[in-house]
Structure 1
Amino acid sequence: MNRVSSSFAAAFFALVLGACNSNPPAEQATAPRAAAQRPGAEAATPTGKKRLLFFGNSLTAGYGVEPEQAFPGLIGQKIDSLKLGYEVVNAGLSGETTAGGLSRVGWVLRQPVDVFVLELGGNDGLRGLPLTATRRNLQGIIDTVRRRSPNAQIVLAGMQIPPNLGVSYAADFKAIYQDLATKNNLVLIPFLLDGVGGDRSLNQADGIHPTPTGHRIVARTVWAVLQPLLR
């Protein structure tokens, strides 16, 4: 695993300061889009298609880019081009924490899923929330998926944070994902932003959210893990 670069740490520290605000404007701006993409709408899943659901925060929701430019949309285009027979659902919600995810995952899973990609925890770490709570909430989401869709493949997207809140905190945060993947026999993406985090040319002005080009790299990282599951 590559170390988080110093520029990545600086950018994330800026977000830590922003996260202290009770109503972050950037995250607030993308919530309507994410809500509109939640599953369980009136239209039924096309007959014969399996469901691949991305469940996460602003990275999944595609803050600052068009839906088709975000990595879930790019994965959907790849799946369609290969005629793999999956419907891709983007259930990303900007500003989401693991606690928020745990509270809404049951609603999202009103319809069964075949592959569930879990991308949460980054906002917890940036706000310095207790890691015991983050771990417990992620486990609760995993348990809910297993109850609602027992045969679903669960993919856990790992995240890292800079050491601004302490080296031990950052290391323990990173370890949560590997520990949960091992404990629950999950497929792990070691670091979702590998090759993108800390690169100014691949991130928007906030230094946090990927540009369309950055999302294409994230999509390749995710696809390398997903492809064997979709055959």
Structure 2
Amino acid sequence: MSLTPDDTLLFIGDSITDAGRDRADPASLGHGYVQQIARTLRTGSEGTGPGPEIINQGVNGHRVYDLESRWTTDVIDRRPTVLTVKIGINDTWRRYDRVLPSPVAEFEACLERVLAHTRQKLPAARLVVITPFLLPVTSDQEGWYEDLAPRTEAVLRAARGTGAQLVRADQLLPAAAEKHGAAALAPDGVHPSPRGHRLIAEAWLTEMRKGHEHRGRRGIR
């Protein structure tokens, strides 16, 4: 995977990334996929030892505009070598529970700005984008796809346009839900269970390996 103790891995997003972290403790990673990635990298199959520095900058309830407002201090100033972004579900959810729209075109432009800004300021950093997902557990949530489907396409365009690696949570979790049931992976349809977080963590680790192998092949040519 070619991650070393000199690397800084930063994860930013909403409550799915936050996962109950203690914001008074900079070392707190929450109890979600970020913590599970850290555990694997530091003591699991990737080897033993301290591993890379890992920072969780997820904040419960945030939309893409909230990320942009804190991007310089929470991302650029920390100079990560690997940056992972998970955002989008609240931009959909707030439309339905608070009548707070996030037009897809504006959402996409905002996400493109922060990713492009990162490319400019941290050209050597690896970018990873995790797509938003939904596992409907109520009939009302089924209607969210009207907003979420085009938003997910916007996330894909923004990621590909900046050369980011992709973790397709929008495909992975619904496929797993066919076997385990939606509520087993996200009891409220949005926030993952420990099993759901583990699936995201495993997909992220797999993408890191794929990205390293691809970069290695390019270097040989």
TM-score w.r.t. the length of structure 2 is 0.72
Alignment of 1:102 with 2:68, yes or no, is yes
Q: How far off its partner does 1:139 sit?
A: 0.9
Equivalence for 1:124: 91
The percent identity for this pair of structures is: 22
* Aligned positions, number: 183
Which residue pairs with 1:59 in the alignment? 16
User: 1:180, 1:125 → 2: CA distance?
Assistant: 17
Structure 2: tracts of 5 or more residues without a match: 23-27, 96-101, 135-140, 214-221
Residue type of the alignment partner of 2:92 = G
Asked if structure 2 preserves the Cα contact closer than 8 Å seen for 1:163 and 1:170, the reply is no
Give, as a single letter, the amino acid of the residue that structure 2 aligns with 1:122.
Answer: I
CA 1:64–1:118 in 2, change beyond 3 Å: closer, same or farther?
A: closer
Mapped to 1, the partners of 2:142 and 2:158 lie a distance apart of 21
* Superposed displacement of residue 67, structure 1: 4.3
| Secondary structure, counterpart of 2:129 in structure 1 | strand
Distance 1:94 1:166, change over 3 A: closer
Contact kept, 8 Å, 2:82 with 2:127, in 1: the verdict is yes
In the alignment, what sits opposite 2:198? 216
Q: Paired residue for 2:31, among 66, 69, 82? A: 69
1:179-218 equivalence runs, <5 A? 179-191=157-169, 194=173, 195=176, 199-204=182-187, 206-218=188-200
Higher relative contact order (CA 8 A, sep 6+): 1
Give, as a single letter, the amino acid of the residue that structure 2 aligns with 1:76.
A
Specify the code of the residue in structure 2 equivalent to 1:199: A
Structure 1 spans left out of the alignment, 5+ residues:
1-46
Report the equivalent of 2:78. Answer: 111
Rounded to whole Å, the distance in 1 between the matches of 2:182 and 2:78 is 38
Compute the TM-score of the two structures, normalised by the length of structure 1.
0.69
Where does residue 121 of structure 2 map in the other structure?
A: 148
| Cα pair distance change 1:102/1:230, threshold 3 Å | same
